[in-house]
Structure 1
Amino acid sequence: MTILRRFGLLAPLAAVSLAGCGINSVPTAEENVNAKWANVQSEYQRRADLVPNLVATVKGYAKQEKDVLTQVTEARAGATRIQLAPGDLSDPAKVGAFNDAQNRLTMSLQRLQEAYPDLKSNANFLALQSQLEGTENSILVARNDYNEAVQAYNTRIRTFPDAVGAKIFYGAKPKVPFQASSGAQAAPTVDFNAQ
């Protein structure tokens, strides 16, 4: 009975000792680091999914607008190229060519008026700029959260009493914080002419 009694007194002391040496806190901190890293990866994936689609949308609207404006410009140039002198008014071919050129300009202006409510490239460029900024900010926040979790974990596994449990039970090693790559200070470029 004395052995059971001694064990009964030592059991709570052992539980308190183990609880104080990182048995639960080290895996909890490590899981927090892993979750924060998953958030960083998620933000990078969001950027990889979002940016090409946004750029393609903006390029599509810009192309549509460019096509409409090119048609108007070409029609206007064609209409001003054909001149009728008073002596040409009796030549049906010259009058017909003049009328055709003017009609092409009228038609292209009508297409411009019809397309005007849908001319959105300026708004789309502003939305793209906003989305790019928001995406990069989200990545920055995720990286900072990850680095803070790494710092807390690394501090926990290196300080007493958690360092004891971290080394004995888990073989815990410090996590690597996110560091900017060389050349990261250069701003990324978005090229709307690339195919």
Structure 2
Amino acid sequence: MSNDQTAKERDQLLNHWRTAIAKRRDWTTFHQIESIHSILSGAPSPRRSKFPIRDLLREFHNQLGYKALNGGLCAGAILRTQSFMDTNPRIGSKLGQTVHIEHTVPVCVLESEIKKRKFSDSTEALAWYLAGVRDSTDALNPVSDEWDKPFMRYKTLFSDGGIVWNVFDGEQVEPTRFTFDDHVDIVARLLRHVGAEDSLVGILAHQTV
């Protein structure tokens, strides 16, 4: 990745997150987070959604800037493949779509794992989601080579010479070394950089999954 490409991708990322923070300082008020907490706790909520948790997770993901549709172009994605960054033009609509970013941990796994948990409030639910689920595939299997390494799921991509970039730091992701703690650290530093409230960063910084 050239220096110009690095700067361009990073600028897009930072501009997106600055706008997201400016629009909403308190992320615990996202109705998707409130609905998930209500569903799991059984507590009544005027904002409780009739949609399944998997759809609420997708909606919240979109709010954070990972959607391709409607001009989103996955601008909030911190970790991007080289092929994604080389794509021009980036078209997110279904007609002529050229870009799409999938969940590193599949939504079905997120839904399955989140149903096993009880959150005391929406803040705890938000922290868990931002930190990323560790109880997924082989990433939490202590006898697996994928223990705590979410990008080991993409063995084929990396064996074929594919590259994933941490756009915020301008560094390549090493799948055999990158852990969930690395992910939490990047998100926390990104939030601080774009001016997020200390309380929001603190939710993530003190999260254990």
The verdict on a shared fold, with TM-score over 0.5 as the criterion, is no
Larger RCO (CA under 8 A, 6+ residues apart): 1
Shorter-chain TM-score: what band?
under 0.3
The two structures have a TM-score, normalised by structure 1, of 0.26
Structure with higher Rg: it is 1
Greater per-residue helix proportion = 1
The two structures have a TM-score, normalised by structure 2, of 0.25
